[in-house]
Structure 1
Amino acid sequence: MVASESTSLSEMAESAVAVALYKTAESIHAELTAIVDEYQAIETLNAATRDYLSDVSVKSQHLVDELTRLQETQKDIQPYLLRIADLEQQVAKLEHVALALDEYSRRVEDCVKRGGR
């Protein structure tokens, strides 16, 4: 009976080992499947990020080009802006002179009306 018990124990041990190995294989397969799914999700996110950053890069370059064009335009019109500022100052001076002349004319007119005093 010892031999049959030994065989039975050996078969039970082999069966237990087979079950353990099967469960270990299932567990490893599930982990690998999860890792592959995560890797695919990361690849998808990386592709989306790459496309987004490419679009941002194109838009940034467009902004740089537009700002460069704007700076060149500003440089081109700067002499005109300075001339306009100078003209504004001259107009302000002319207005001041015109007001002073108008005031002087009124005093002369009042003087003439009063009889030359």
Structure 2
Amino acid sequence: MHPRYNAIYARCARSRKPRPNPRRLQTMQSSGASSEAPPLPPRQASMGSTSPSFPPRSVSLPPDQSRLLGIAEAVAEDTLVKVAEAIRNDVTAAGDDLTVLQSMTALARDRYAEYNATAQELIAGMGKVQHTYAEMETYIDQIFDVERQVASIEQVVSELDDYTKRLEESLKRRK
């Protein structure tokens, strides 16, 4: 795989790491779970959506139930934030995948353009070879004609050689 694609996928993997939820931290701080961190400002709505807001409580709850309700609200908020983050990461990953596909398409297009240029050069070369062969065909035919004539001359020479041998024998007998 291309190094650029590895970097994109690594970036997507890094963006999927869980992040702390500021509202959960606020709830935990208000319940006394951690007093070390400074209070965080309320979370700003991202991508045009509004954070779920709970109506004010008109009934006062006992401290245990109030604490449990706060934890439940924090867990629900944390879950919503994680789902939103997961969806955002999936959309980002899909966008990155499309970018990779566009790059791969461009590379394939360029490679096929090179193949097309090579094929056009081969076609032009074949045309030249065919033209050269057509020009040489008459010479090749003449060579074959000469070869046939040489074969017939060799046959005549062979017959003359046989005739000469017979003549020599007949002259030797007469003497």
Indicate the TM-score class for this superposition, using the shorter chain for normalisation. 0.7 to 0.9
1:59 and 2:115 correspond: no
* 1:43 alignment counterpart: 102
Query: Which has more helix, going by share of residues?
Result: 1
Q: Within 5 A, what are the aligned runs for 1:19-34?
A: 19-34=78-93
Instruction: Provide the residue aligned with 2:141 in structure 1.
Output: 82
Deviation at 1:10, TM superposition (A): 6.6
Once the 2 structures are TM-superposed, how far is the Cα of residue 18 of structure 1 from its aligned partner? 2.2
The one of 60, 70, 78 equivalent to 1:4 is: 60
> CA deviation digits over 1:60-104, x for unaligned, max 9?
000000001111111111111111111111111001111111111
- Give the structure, 1 or 2, with the largest relative contact order (CA under 8 Å, sep 6 or more): 2
Gaps of 5+ in 1: none
Give the share of equivalent positions with the same residue, in percent. Answer: 31
Give how far 1:15 is off.
3.3
- Name segments (4+ residues, structure 1) moved above 4 Å: 9-14
Structure 2 alignment gaps of length 5 or more: 1-57
Cα RMSD after superposing both structures: 2.3
Moved more, 104-113 or 4-13: 4-13
1:11-34 Cα shifts (integer Å, max 9, x gaps):
556434422321111111210121
Secondary structure of the structure 2 residue equivalent to 1:5: coil
Greater Cα shift, 50-59 or 3-12: 3-12
Q: How many residues align?
A: 115
Q: What amino acid maps onto 2:111 in structure 1?
A: Y
